[in-house]
Structure 1
């Protein structure tokens, strides 16, 4: 006789997963100007597209899991060793590698807040505890408070400079003072996703710091200045033991052959890409000046975006921009992050932006 079916039970998942915040992608809409994601507004360069088309004929094969050629190219570009490079699907996935390889239940990860929205998510996924240190009133990292937040449980400190979403930078003198207060067994990660747009001469140089300090790692990405956001490739420069551990926790075959080929070709096209970065930087200055003329008081930005501390007006200003056909990234009750687009896109933004 057949056994009667039991009432189906609810499948048990890992405790706490349903409490995780969900990373929110920048919104898009037909006919709207999308300034809600920090993307390069210009299409990929012709030589990079040519390489991608050629590589597309080989997508029936797995990519090089170790990304040996790309790691070698990145290493030569920065004057470091290939064994000190680890790659991933964008710098956010490499950040996840760093968290997973460094921290777990009972450990703490310190970072500024508000900063990159993915940080607390990545830390909680690893089972570790995020320690979120408020920004200083000038929207910059409060490094003294961050140093004070380090405990014997701290395994990792994340420093985003230029900071997403505020655009403020960490400067060399203050960082050296901060680093002197950090225990040598705590890894300090300098996330330089927007470094190509930084024109502040006092900003820290992550690669130089990596060379001089054994507990510093650096994150870079091909998504922003290089315009490869859709292909997902980023990398860490880290001490060899740490870089090896990152490769251990990485998703196998995560970085596609298309992404590896495009990233290598982009390194060959640095001069042409630099011209596009200069266009974005020039437009950033124009947008900041126009925004200030409307009564807003944004801090100076060194990223490819500007930050408006709109507070209680955030949702209303965001809706006004949407009504004008412009989409920006709104952090309700806090502020708006506005990506710098082409001159035409920025004109639509300025036409739709209410006065302060």
Structure 2
């Protein structure tokens, strides 16, 4: 063998192969941007107001209940029977109408996997939703194989239900309604949802995303439980992440009539809710008065922030979640940078606006001061 001969490949060497490529849809999807922790600033306590988290830990009874659990070497109940039965009592609905999932996003993905993808001829189904809304929607819809139909919000940050109804075509399979809308804050009223459902074909699944339900104080807000009883195509989407402070345990669920739930159980991810998460959620429901008292405190802080910013001249959309929305346009970047200098992490959405979660009292006061210095 001369020096110009190639070196024989080792029998143990891997065989070269073309690069492994993901599905083409991934190139078209936005990337989910989780809220970042606050920048460390010397002399200031840092506060994370970027993820709509409950700033308080779970109630003491929950921490006591899960502290000594030792059965995590065993798989949990695949369908979360105890939790569904406890939720059924709480909501006054049949346990069979409830399907659990890994957070409300996991529960939503189960709905999309069941009802949206591609039709029998390979064309994508359509999912209609307001935009801007929860930033995971386009990712989940795209991964399901369906196509997003985004309907712009009204100037006040509310859903344009007339335009959403007009956007429904023969290819529409699912509609997503977010109330209160994340990140802008307004709710959908009961009457307008009733009217909207009357304009939607009954074979189209309508998902009412109520992740921030417990923070709502508007008496005109939609009553999802009442409506699902009357509409076989309506799915309620809820979570323990926000009000109950269990975001890290990932507990969500849907409520729908049997014609939907019997199909959702087929696509539901087995063991999505761990035994620790299930126990925490049950105990939290058993001490709901304590949970709601904490929520009342956060709502009071939200109202304090809204009142202070309104007095400063800020024009805020209706705030019914645990966050406020600042419509800053091309000043979004400057505001986010100013917040970093104050050791506050906020959530910037391009040049559309900045969402700021309601946090600890001191965090909220610092945010109010920041807004005063920055100027409306």
TM range (shorter): over 0.9
**Residue 220 of structure 1: aligned partner:** 238
Q: Distance in 2 between matches of 1:213 and 1:301?
A: 28
Q: Distance in 1 between matches of 2:295 and 2:311?
A: 24
* Worse overlay, 250-259 or 144-153: 250-259
Gaps of 5+ in 1: none
Contact conserved, 2:110 with 2:269, CA < 8 A, in 1?
no
Contact conserved, 1:326 with 1:352, CA < 8 A, in 2?
no
Q: Deviations over 1:99-155 (max 9, x none)?
A: 110011220000000111111110000010010000011110000000000001000
**Residue 49 of structure 1: aligned partner:** 63
The SS at the match of 1:230 is: helix
Matched, 1:287 2:305: yes
**CA positional deviation for 1:2:** 7.0
Matched, 1:72 2:85: yes
Q: Which residue among 22, 28, 31 is the counterpart of 2:37?
A: 28
Contact conserved, 1:86 with 1:244, CA < 8 A, in 2?
no
Q: Which residue among 17, 20, 40 is the counterpart of 1:11?
A: 20
The SS at the match of 1:36 is: coil
**Residue 189 of structure 1: aligned partner:** 207
Matched, 1:355 2:375: yes
Q: Which residue among 79, 91, 114 is the counterpart of 2:132?
A: 114
Q: Deviations over 1:266-322 (max 9, x none)?
A: 111110111101101111111011112332111121101011111111111111111
Matched, 1:268 2:286: yes
Q: Distance in 2 between matches of 1:349 and 1:2?
A: 63
Aligned residues, how many? 355
Gaps of 5+ in 2: 1-7, 119-123
**CA positional deviation for 1:3:** 8.5
Q: Which residue among 234, 248, 251 is the counterpart of 1:230?
A: 248
Q: Which residue among 152, 164, 173 is the counterpart of 2:191?
A: 173
**CA positional deviation for 1:352:** 2.3
Contact conserved, 1:35 with 1:338, CA < 8 A, in 2?
yes
Matched, 1:330 2:353: no
Contact conserved, 1:110 with 1:146, CA < 8 A, in 2?
yes
Q: TM-score, normalized by length of structure 1?
A: 0.96
Contact conserved, 1:110 with 1:131, CA < 8 A, in 2?
yes
**CA positional deviation for 1:59:** 1.0
**CA positional deviation for 1:241:** 3.0
Q: Distance in 2 between matches of 1:264 and 1:54?
A: 16
The SS at the match of 2:254 is: strand
Q: TM-score, normalized by length of structure 2?
A: 0.91
Q: Deviations over 1:166-206 (max 9, x none)?
A: 11011112111111110010111111000100000001011
Matched, 1:100 2:118: no
Q: Distance in 2 between matches of 1:8 and 1:102?
A: 37
Deviation >3 Å, runs of 4+? 1-8
**CA positional deviation for 1:238:** 1.0
Matched, 1:299 2:314: no
Change in CA separation of 1:2 and 1:335 when aligned onto 2, cut-off 3 Å: closer
Contact conserved, 2:232 with 2:259, CA < 8 A, in 1?
no
* Worse overlay, 253-262 or 12-21: 12-21
Q: Distance in 2 between matches of 1:13 and 1:286?
A: 48
